[in-house]
């Protein structure tokens, strides 16, 4: 995981809501945005709040682990 964003202007990121988000409960939504060297994850109800940033390989490993569970 990367602690500091390296996407430059974060407002230029294209956020996509996770297909795992519960559409019946608006308080449980996660959004993901890919940049050339990072993957950003945020809580959709707090778009200007904190976010996690992963290196692409770490995100791929995490997504594979979650899909196995």
pTM of the model: 0.70
The C-alpha atoms of residue 51 and residue 31 are separated, in whole angstroms, by: 10
Cα separation, 29 vs 65, whole angstroms: 19
d(C-alpha 11, C-alpha 32), whole Å: 13
> What pLDDT sits at residue 29?
85
* Residues 5-25 pLDDT 10s: 444 556 689 999 877 666 666
User: Quick check: 38 pLDDT over 90?
Assistant: yes
According to DSSP, the β-strands at 16-17 and 39-43 are unpaired
Mean of pLDDT values over 37-50: 90
């Amino acid at each position: 995981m990367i602690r500091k964003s390296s996407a430059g202007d974060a407002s230029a990121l294209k956020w996509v809501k996770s297909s795992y988000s519960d559409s019946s409960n608006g308080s449980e939504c996660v959004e993901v945005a890919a940049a050339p060297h990072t993957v950003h994850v945020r809580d959709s109800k707090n778009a200007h709040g904190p976010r996690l940033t992963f290196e692409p390989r770490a995100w791929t490993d995490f997504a594979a682990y979650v899909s196995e569970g």
